[in-house]
A and B are shown apart, each in its own frame.
Chain A
Amino acid sequence: MSPAPRRSEGAWPSLRVLIIIPAFNEAKNLGAVLTGLRGASPECDVCVVDDGSTDETAKVAAREGATVLRVPLNLGIGGAVQTGYLWAQRRGYDVAIQIDGDGQHDPRFIADVLAPIARGEADLVIGSRFLDAGGYRSTAIRRLGIRYLSWFIRARCGVRVTDPTSGFRATGRRAIELFARTYPDAYPEAEAIGLARRHGLGIVEVPVRMSERIHGASTINGWRSIQYFVMVSLALALWAPADGSGRGPSPDGEE
């Protein structure tokens, strides 16, 4: 595949769209994900961020025709996703769409998350599984945690997001610039919403359908999920509230 951005021939022919798939040891799931993507939106470029995998992740991705960004160390999900945003920024993509490499996200909804950006209505679109699209909705205990985070983000950042942990999202130019410069580290999805809000970006949600991952276990379970909610709350609480003044992160450009 040519690394130069192509123009989309889909619904918005003027947009150059990059799909970012962070992957750590996802060789088993990635093939199906990439095949599904090619079928659903062949006009988008796909880049897989191989976050220091020890399996065949990079090989599978290259075989399926994706651009592979091989991170030499395991940075964790935040660092991996940001690598994708850096690529999108350097290559001048108009839209970057983030999708999990484990097959949870249905690629047929790409057009849906893309639409508000293409229409200029938002900078960050979050695909939510709680807005009437059906499908898998996670376990009861995790739904409770998600409800809590949703409430917390609304109270702290003044934005209504029903599925703040969703990793299915689309970003426009302004959000790409921001995320290439600064992206949260350990548990980035919810924090990224706060970050975007703090920089005055427009955030909307659209309904998407999710399924359970095909192979392997999620990285967030049991005690880890409690740690997750505590850390995310802390991060959201400590950072400056939404004021849209664009008061940015440290001058290093890195949190």
Chain B
Amino acid sequence: MLPLRLEIFAIATLLCFMGWVAYLIRHRRLGLTETLPWLLSTLVALIVTLFPSALIWVARVLRFEVPSNALFVFAYLYVLWNVLVLTINFSTQTARLRRLAQECALLDAEVRALQRRIEPVK
């Protein structure tokens, strides 16, 4: 179905991508939970590349005119999902950063108050 060279190229690209992500996780530059969506969705892409008939079947079930359209739709959803996961993460980090900054301000005030009590007026 798929030209062999094209299939090899696609599989190689996906494997490289997964390998890179795995490398980043191993070296603690990416969190496992944050990258799980990427790994899972790449795995699905890999399956579709190995068995193009799976995509054709799904496209037919969902009444896509051309299977490649289904591919575009799924690729778009894939990116959209991953971006949403990132945005959720970003919001969580912002909230945490805010609380941390506030705790710093409170502690800073406590420390200065204690300092003033230990060494009153200079």
Contact = CB atoms under 8 A, between A and B. Distances in A.
Mutual binders A and B: yes
B62 interface: no
Given A71-B104, A72-B104, A3 B109 contact: yes
Q: How large is the interface on A (under 10, 10 to 19, 20 to 34, 35 or more residues)?
A: 20 to 34
Interface of A: 2-3, 49, 67-73, 75, 79, 82-83, 86-87, 90, 185, 252, 254-255
Contacts of B98: 75, 79, 82, 185, 254
Contacts of A73: 97, 101
Q: How large is the interface on B (under 10, 10 to 19, 20 to 34, 35 or more residues)?
A: 10 to 19
B83 interface: no
Interface string B79-122: 00000000000001001111101101110111011000000000
Interface of B: 92, 95-99, 101-102, 104-106, 108-110, 112-113
A255 B97 CA distance: 12
B106 A69 contact: yes
B107 to A, nearest CB: 10
Contacts of B101: 71-73, 75, 79
Sorted nearest first, the 9 A-B pairs with minimum C-beta distance are A254-B95, A3-B113, A69-B105, A71-B105, A83-B102, A79-B98, A73-B101, A69-B109, A72-B104
> Chain A: interface secondary structure?
mixed
Contacts of B113: 2-3, 67
A52 B95 CA distance: 17
Nearest to B113: A3
A49 B92 CA distance: 23
Nearest to B98: A79
A49 B95 contact: no
A70 B99 contact: no
